[in-house]
Structures are given as C-alpha cells and as structure tokens.
Structure 1
Amino acid sequence: MLHLTIVVPDGQNNLSSMIGSFKVFNRANEYWESLGNKAVFKVQLAGLSQRVELYDGLFVVQPHTHISAITKTNLIIIPALNRDYIKSLKLNTALIDWLKEQYLGGAEIASICTGAFMLAATGLLDGKNCSTHWIAAGQFKGMFPKVHLQTEQLITDEQGIYTNGGAFSFLNLLLYLVEKYYDRKTAIYCSKILQVDIDRHSQSPFTIFTGQKGHDDQVVKKAQALIEGHPQQLFSAAELAERFSISRRNFDRRFIKATGNTPAEYLQRVRVEVAKKELENGAKNITEVMYAVGYADQKAFRQTFKKITGLSPLEYRSRYHKDASVL
C-alpha cells in the first residue's frame, strides 16, 4: 500500500483543502475496494504540532502524526496557506525542509492553491511551471522569480510535482491525481459523487484583472491609471512615453518590470476586464460591448477575449449573464 501525507502547516487557516483531500482519497479507496482491489493509499495528516487551530479557534485539526515519524511517503499534498505567506513560511521551515527531503527520496508533491508558496520555498519549483490562485500571482512572482508562473492553468504536472489554481478548483487536481493513481473509472465515480466537472483545465474565466499596483514606479502607475481610465482609447507605447517625457525604450522596460506586461498587453487586459463586466451586468449586446472597449474588428475582439478568458464573448455572456440575449 502506498502512503499519502496531507500536511498540516502551523499557522494554517484553510480547512477545506485538507478535509477535501482527506475525503476524496478515502472515497477513492472505498470505491477501489468495492471492485475487489486493495486500497491504494494509507492516508495520514501530518504536521509540526499536535493541534492546529483555524479561524481564531473555531476549528481544530489534530494531525495523525508528526512529520518526523514519516520517513517514507509516496504522495504529499500541501493545502492552501494563510494569506500572510511570509509568516507561514517562517513558521514552517522544518516542514519545508522535510518536503524537499521527501521529494528527493522519491515522493511526489501536489500543492493546492496558495500552497504553491510553500512548495516554491523548497526550491523544487525553480525552472518549472506552476499555478496558484490568480489573486496571489503578483506576490508569488515577486517572491519566486525563478518559477514559471502560469495562472491561466488549472493544473500543472512536471517531474512528479503538481500545482493547481485557486479556491475549490483543488477538487479538479484531486480528481487528476485519483485518475493517475487509481484509474479513469474511479476518477469519474468520484467526480459524480462529489458533483465536480472533470477535465477542467483553465481558471482563466474566473480571473479578475485588477492591475499590478504593488510597485513603486510612479510613472508606470500614472500610465496604468491613464489606460484604465480610458479603455476605449488606443494608447501606443510611444505616445505614453512621450506623455511622461521618457524614452520609449526606458518606458517599455520600466512598464514590463513593474507590471509583468507590455503596455499593449496591459491595455488588452484592461479592455477585456471592462468587457467582462459589461457582458455580466449590462444590457448591451456583444457588438456594442466591442465598440465600447475600443475594438472595431469583431475577429480581433473575439480572439483577444478568448485568449485572456478562455471563452468567447458569447460563451462568457451565456455563462455569467442571467438574461443573456445576443443580437
């Protein structure tokens, strides 16, 4: 029998990803045994403390064992972390060392949502692709520049390391792992019991673009405000550089360093975010929305919208606008 460790970090404040992992793999074991097989995993929660309080003591998790008692495990799941990521990592240095040791000893590791911060702290993600909740992307990039962050991806899978996007999308990662360690039939069974859509691959439709403002470049912040205040206007990088009396090359360099986007990419994302809100809440049809955000070519609008959200404007409106009607 293989061993599965669900870690319980100190300072943890996310209960759902621990309980969800525990329930999914126990359900998979039960189904697997009902078919006449032996259970695939022994599932244990392990941490640094005997008792971890969550949500100001409202809930308490008592791990089965201390991580030091586990010398060999096959699969490790890191749950989502408290939003104070720096504090969480400081509280769990021994756990981070243990994760690295186990991986080098042959274990596979999966991080859920912002659990990617802990996984990245091991150095094991350097040079690899990774996903996490889109809302934490800016801070993650700043803390772990050697990791190739792919927030549009719901799941990444590289060399026995798995990561996933945000919030309850972790259930899709768990189904992915069930299919790998059990089989497709068991994964489908779990998806039906849990009522989770299987084979969802992107979190792009759920992303809310708020602009990357966690920097100190005042010129770039002014340029961002100008773009966001006039999404229908096509600002060229040259025009923006001239407005702020700096060279085009220097402006591009500073804008990319501060936001992670070129000025043109930033404008596209701002326009698409405005279009999304119009499609969700407004009475405008898709053509009217297209013009309102500065596009005159339907093909270009559709292509850009789908590239960023993973859905066409029509698909997005149908999903998120209750009284969708397209003229």
Structure 2
Amino acid sequence: MKHITIVAPNCQTNLGTVACIAGAYEIFSRAGEYFKESGNKELYKIEIAGVASNTALAGGLFSVNIHTPVADIKRTNLVIIPSLNANFEKGGKGNTEIIDWIVNQYKNGAEIATMCSGAFMLASTGLLDGRSCSTHWNYANLFRTLYPDVNLQPDELITDENGIYTNGGAYSFLNLALYLVEKYYDRKTAIFCSKVFQIEMDRQSQSPFIIFRGQKQHNDEMVKEAQAYIESQLTEKISIETLSSKFSVGRRNFDRRFIKATGNTPIEYMQRVKVESAKRAFETTRKSINEIMYEVGYSDLKAFREVFRKFTGVSPLVYRSKYNKDAAGI
C-alpha cells in the first residue's frame, strides 16, 4: 500500500492550518472509501504526521493527535504541507526537523503539495528555485522579496511541476485536494468528492479574488513615486516615455527598475491599477460598463474587456453580476 502524509507543523500555525489538515484528511479518506466501494483495492494509507504526539495548532486553540512522528516515516508518496501564519521566516526555523524530512522525502521520490502559505515553508528548502509556484495573492509581494529565485504565479490557482504542487490562498486548498484526488485515484473519484463536499471542479485561477494593492514592499524611491503618479492619473493614458522622462530616467533603465521593484512592467502596473478601480466601481455602484470604462481611462470597449479579463479571468459583465446584485440587471 502506498502512503500519503499530511504534515502538522510544529509552530507558526493558524486556523487555516487546522482547516487544511482537517479538510485534506477528510477528503482523501472519503476518496479512499469511495474508491474501495467501487470495487478497487485500497491504494493509500493516509496519516497526519508531525514532531510531537499532540501538536498544538492556532496558538493552542486546537490540537491534533498525530498518527505517527515524521521521523518514523521512512518513505511516503505524497507530502501535503498546510498553510502557516504570516511569520514565515520563524515558521521555517521552528519546523527544521519537518523541513529536513520533506527534503529527504522529495529526494527519495515523494511528491510535495503545499496549501496556501505553506509554499513559504517549501520555498525555504530551495526546492522551488527556478520552478513555478502559487500562494495566497495577499502574500505575493512578500514571497517575491524572500524568494526571488522562485517563478511566482499568483494568478494561478494550482501549479504542477516536477512532482511539486502549489495552490492559491485560503480555502482554495479544497480545489487542490480535488486535483490531487484525481491524480492519485481517478476522475470518477474526484467528481464524487466534488459532489459530496460541494466543491467546484476544475477551478484554475484565483484572479477574480485578487485585490491589487500595488507592490510597494521595495526600497526604490523613484519607482514608488512613479507608482503614486500612475495611481493619481487613473483617467489618463500615460506613455512610458512620458513617465520615464518625468523622473529623468532612460526608458530602458526605467523599465528595468520598475520590473525589479514591482514584478510588473509599467504598462502592466497601469492596467492593474485601472482594473482594480473598475472592480471597486462594479462592486459598489450602479454605473454602466461604459461609464466605468471611461472613468479608468479606456475609450475602446473591446480593449477594456480584454484587459479586465486578463487580470480577473472574467468579463466586466460577469464580474458585476457576481459581486453586485443591485446592478446585475443593468
């Protein structure tokens, strides 16, 4: 029989950690039961593993009685890392034994899956360097700062590369669980779990949920001033040449510094600022799509739709109908 390990971190846990551990265990357990009920042999033994026999979670509000210490698991097929709280660097230092075990398991052929901010723990091992990764959109800027060698994809709900799976934020771990059930069992079992637990199948993006606040956790003052200027000129079309000359920097150097500081090109940053403003207007007003489009500096409806869909995954009309019931019929 093969083996799936759900990790119970030793420290830096929160309520999200509890949800990830309990949710993953319940979904995989039910998947195994259904797979066996369908006439198949039992495939996986599912265990929660940690360092202490009784592991306190979420500041002691909850605790979990682990099935086995990680040191006693010599070989597993899949390791699932739950989310952590926001003090990620301490989380890595406090979970050294678990981290070392995870690295050894991966070297021995195990696959690794991280849920939400659990990606920070895995990134601290170096296993994500040069690879694609997702995490909660709210932690994207910090993640880029701490782990610049990782190819962060914050719009993606799930990444799957070289036996490493990561996913976006919060309760989207449920979507990763379904994805893994399909991988480790089959599509039929995943559909069954989708129906039993009422989780939408095949979600691929967390873009509709992202709140863009601007990437300002950097020390380039010129870029910060450029960001502030862009945000103050929502209705205007600003050329990059005009912007770079305003700050007495050559276009190529301006682009380079802006990308290094924010992770976006200046054009992408302008688009994201405008789309975020449009999203707020769709959520809180009864203005028409055309009115909002003009307010954020677009005059071409097709271009506005394309940019809006690029950053949200849906059209302006669908977004408004989803988040503003009062305006849905306009």
Query: Does the TM-score normalized on the shorter chain lie above 0.5?
Result: yes
CA-to-partner distance for each residue in 1:8-48, whole Å, 9 max, x for gaps? 11112221001001100111111112222232211111112
**Contact 2:84 2:117 (C-alpha < 8 Å) held by counterparts:** yes
Q: Distance in 1 between matches of 2:108 and 2:35?
A: 27
Count of residues in Structure 1 that have an aligned counterpart in Structure 2: 327
* Matching residue of 2:80: 77
Conserved? CA contact 2:136–2:168, under 8 Å:
yes
- Cα distance in structure 2, aligned partners of 1:178 and 1:4: 11
What is the Cα deviation at residue 307 of structure 1?
Answer: 0.7
Match of 2:5 in 1: 5
The 8 Å contact of residues 286 and 326 in structure 1, kept in 2 or not, is answered as: no
Match of 1:132 in 2: 135
Secondary structure of the residue that 2:106 maps to in structure 1?
A: helix
> Partner of 1:293 in structure 2?
296
Alpha-carbon distance in 1 for matches of 2:202, 2:46 = 24
Q: Mapping of 1:231-250 within 5 angstroms?
A: 231-250=234-253
1:154-212 Cα offsets, whole Å, 9 max, x none, are 11111211111111111111111111111111111100111000011111111110001
Q: Distance in 1 between matches of 2:59 and 2:101?
A: 27
| Residue 261 of structure 2 is aligned to residue 258 of structure 1 | yes
Q: Find the aligned partners of 1:208 and 1:112 in 2 and give their Cα distance.
A: 20
CA–CA separation in structure 2 for the residues paired with 1:124 and 1:55: 27
Structure 2 Cα separation of the partners of residues 126 and 244 of structure 1:
34
Rounded to whole Å, the distance in 1 between the matches of 2:184 and 2:246 is 57
TM-score of the two chains, using structure 1 as the length reference: 0.96
Counterpart in the other structure of 1:201:
204
* Paired letter, 1:20: G
Gapped runs of 5+ residues in structure 2? none
Q: Tell me the distance in 1 between the aligned counterparts of 2:158 and 2:200.
A: 14
Letter in 1 for 2:33: E
Cα deviation 1:119-161 (Å, max 9, x = unaligned):
1222222221111111111111122222111111111111211
Partner residue, 1:157: 160
Instruction: Say if 1:202 and 1:310, in contact at 8 Å, map to a contact too.
Output: yes
- 2:124 aligned to which of 116, 121, 124: 121
Structure 1 unaligned segments of length 5 or more: list them. none
Q: For residues 326 and 219 of structure 1, what CA distance do their matches in structure 2 show?
A: 44
For 1:40 and 1:33, how far apart are their aligned partners in 2? 8
**Matches for 1:6-85 after TM superposition, within 5 Å:** 6-11=6-11, 12-13=13-14, 14-85=17-88
Q: Which amino acid aligns with 1:78?
A: I
More deviation, 218-227/23-32 = 218-227
**Paired amino acid for 2:214:** G
Corresponding residue SS for 1:288: helix
Kindly state the Cα deviation for residue 326 of structure 1 after the two structures are TM-superposed: 5.8
- Counterpart code for 1:5: T
